Amino acid sequence: MKNLLFVFILFFSLIASAQNKIPNTQLKTLDGNTTNLVDISKENDLIVVSLWATWCVPCKNELDAISEVYSDWQDETNIILYAVSVDDSRTIKRVKPLVNGKGWEFEILFDPNNELKRALGAATVPVTLIIKNGEIVYRHTGYTPGAEDNLYEEIKKHL
C-alpha cells in the first residue's frame, strides 16, 4: 500500500508537465504506405489530429460535426484534420467505406495495433490534438455536442 502511495505522489509531481512532443510511431495511409506525425507536422505548420474508431459513437459524432463546418474552417485557416483510426483488424475494413459513405474530407490514417494511442497515453477515444510546428499545443479527451466550436476557437489561437 505504501508503494502505491509513493507512485501516486510521483505521478502528481509529474502531471504538471504536459506532454508536448509528438510520438513518431508508424502510421499507415489509405494506400498502404507508412508515415508518422513527425513527418506530417514538418510539412504542415498547424494540424488537427483526431484519434477515432468506427465503433466509437462520440468519435463519429465529433467528426460528423466537424465535417459540416470543415470547408469553412479550411477557407479561414487552411487547417488540415488527420483522422487517425485506431480500429484493429476486427473493424479496420469498415474505415474506408464509412469515411466515404459519410462524405468526410479528412486525411485518413491507420494505427492498427494502437502504437500511437499507447504512446499518447490515451485510454479512450476520441482524443483531439492541435499540433503546431511539431508540438502538441492543445489536447482534449472525449466529445460532447458543441465541443467542435471550442476546438475551432483553440485553432484560431494558434494561427
Partner 1 sequence: MKKIIICFVALAIPFVVLSQETNTQEKTRFKRFLNNLSGSFESNAQWYLDDDKTGDFEEDEHIRANSYLKLDYNFLGNFSIGLQAESYMPEPLLNYDWLYNEKFDLAQYYVNYKTKKLDVTAGYFYEQFGNGLVFRAWEDRALGVNNSIRGGKVRYNPTDFLELTALYGKQRRGLDVSESNVLGINSEFNLRNLLDVDLFDELSLGFSYVNKSEDYGYVNDVVSVPNHVDAYSVRLDLSIKNLYSNIEYVKKSDDLRWKSENKLFDGNALYFNLGYSKKGLGINSTFRRLENMNFYSQREDLNGRINLTNRGTLNYLPALTKQYDYTLANIYLYQAQPGLSVEDYQTVQVKAGEIGYQIDVFYKFKKGSLLGGRYGTKVTANLSYWADLNTKVSDPNGIPYFSSDALTYETDFFKFGEKLFRDFNLEVRKKWSPKLSSIFTYINLYYNADYFKANNKEVDAWIGIAESTYKFGKGKSLRLEAQHLLTDDDSKNWLGGTIEYFHNSNFGIYFNDSYNYEESDVEENSKIHFFNVGGSFTKGATRVALNYGRQRGGLICVGGVCRPVSKNTGITLNLTTSF
The site for partner 1 (CB under 8 A) is made up of 1, 3-4, 6-7, 10-11, 13-21, 24, 26, 30-34, 55-57, 61, 64, 68, 88-91, 93-94, 96-103, 112-115, 118-124, 139-142, 144-147, 149-150
Of 72 and 149, CB closest to partner 1: 149
Give me the least distance between CB of 27 and partner 1, in Å please.
13
Burial label for 66, CB within 10 Å (0-12, 13-18, 19+), is buried
Of 46 and 55, CB closest to partner 1: 55
Lookup: cell for 27 = 502510421
Burial label for 63, CB within 10 Å (0-12, 13-18, 19+), is buried
Could you identify the residue written with the cell 508540438?
135
Give me the least distance between CB of 131 and partner 1, in Å please.
14
- Residue pair 133/108 in contact (Cβ under 8 Å)? The answer is no
Give me the least distance between CB of 76 and partner 1, in Å please.
19
